[in-house]
């Protein structure tokens, strides 16, 4: 009886089914993709498909963390892609890279100190998120409407900043953020670990997580109990914007340029999907940070798998949507109950 109960608890765990799907995707690659699990050391750095997945998933994981907290408050932020584009444009404009010739040697120098450029860019990202929070908590707009406005307008702002062109960054130290290695691993992995670990500590080791869930379940009751719901929600949206800003640094540094038109395109949809796959309800309330991390890894692994096994490009999105649909069905407790009932009847 005790063993049965423990197995039931495992099957009901929010992370069990998402981990199962991730394991199945990895198994698929083991069978169909030669050398998928091979990890090599080149120039003191680790290289391989698994490392590449972690590196490419880093921006999505970071955005998903911010999106998780927003959704937990019964909100949504579909402007993170535009926020990423604006932040990338700002940091690229500030750093750039002016050519300087010293003793016959060509070097590129940053227009402003790199640290200052990064701080300004992240501050812009946080202010964008705070603006969303202001529209939602003070003006009274619905989250999807407030963030939709910024999603459209923000993309236009990014194009204005870049003048509709791609801004190339030449300053090499900036490339370390998205393309550098530390102790053999991509620096982006450490950045993800820092943000995930810090957010987990603040939300699970303090009362902050309970406050967020309370606002998502019943904002009126939360306010009556002494929680400043409006300020908390505004802070959460600012944090989500900040997460999009950090992701922008990774993306801009990795591609060495800023594109106001395509940067961050569809990131908001992938982030929401990662949160949903991770088990956090879009109706608000209880949230699962690690589930969102796993969800983002599933999405990136799926993209890598589709390209690795040679799926025709014209049906990539169809295959991706089909797999995600199956994943959501598997995670649905109601669907599993229906399947179990049908199986019982047929037997």
Successive 10-residue mean pLDDT values, the chain, 347 residues? 54 73 86 83 85 92 96 93 94 80 68 91 96 93 93 92 87 89 92 95 91 88 86 95 96 90 87 89 87 92 82 75 76 68 58
Return the pLDDT at 331.
66
pLDDT at 8: 56
Distance CA 334, CA 317 (A): 27
pTM assigned to the model: 0.89
* Per-residue pLDDT, 99: 63
Q: CA-to-CA distance for 240 and 4, rounded, in angstroms?
A: 40
DSSP state of 166: E
CA angle 31, 32, 36 (to 5 degrees): 80
What is the rounded CA–CA span in Å between residue 295 and residue 18?
7
CB atoms within 10 A of CB 114: 17
Task: Give domain limits for the chain.
Answer: 59-288
* Tokens read off for 44: 């003191």
Q: 155 exposed, middle or buried (CB, 10 Å; 0-12, 13-18, 19+)?
A: buried
Please report the pLDDT score of residue 1 as a whole number.
Answer: 47
pLDDT of residue 289: 92
Instruction: Please give the pLDDT value at position 307.
Output: 81
How remote is the C-alpha of 114 from its chain's centroid? 24
């Amino acid at each position: 009886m005790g063993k049965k109960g423990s197995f039931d608890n495992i099957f009901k765990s929010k992370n069990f089914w998402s981990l199962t799907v991730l394991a199945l995707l990895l198994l698929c690659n083991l069978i169909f993709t030669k050398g998928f699990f091979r990890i090599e050391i080149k120039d003191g750095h680790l290289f391989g498909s698994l490392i590449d997945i972690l590196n490419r998933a880093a921006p999505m994981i970071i955005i998903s963390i911010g999106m998780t907290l927003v959704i937990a408050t019964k909100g949504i932020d579909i402007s993170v892609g535009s926020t990423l584009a604006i932040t990338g444009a700002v940091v690229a404009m500030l750093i750039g890279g002016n050519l300087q010739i010293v003793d016959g040697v060509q070097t590129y120098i940053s227009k402003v100190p790199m640290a200052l450029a990064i701080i300004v860019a992240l501050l812009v990202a946080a202010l964008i998120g705070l603006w969303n929070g202001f529209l939602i908590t003070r003006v009274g707009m619905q989250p999807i409407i407030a963030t939709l406005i910024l999603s459209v307008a923000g993309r236009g702002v990014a194009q204005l900043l870049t003048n509709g062109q791609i801004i190339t960054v030449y300053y090499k130290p900036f490339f370390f953020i998205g393309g550098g290695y530390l102790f053999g691993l991509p620096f982006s992995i450490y950045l993800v670990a820092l943000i995930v670990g810090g957010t987990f500590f603040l939300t699970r080791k303090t009362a902050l997580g309970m406050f967020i869930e309370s606002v998502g379940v019943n904002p009126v009751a939360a306010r009556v109990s002494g929680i400043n719901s409006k300020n908390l929600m505004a802070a959460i949206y600012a944090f989500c914007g900040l997460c999009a800003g950090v992701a922008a640094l990774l993306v801009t540094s990795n591609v060495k340029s800023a594109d106001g038109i395509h940067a961050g395109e569809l990131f908001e949809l992938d982030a929401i999907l990662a949160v949903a796959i991770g088990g956090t309800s879009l109706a608000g309330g209880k949230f699962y940070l690690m589930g969102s991390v796993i969800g983002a890894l599933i999405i990136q692994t799926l993209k890598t798998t589709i390209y690795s096994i040679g799926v025709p490009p014209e049906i990539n999105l169809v295959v991706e949507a089909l797999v995600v649909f199956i994943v959501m069905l598997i995670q649905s407790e109601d669907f599993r109950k229906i399947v179990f009932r049908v199986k019982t009847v047929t037997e």
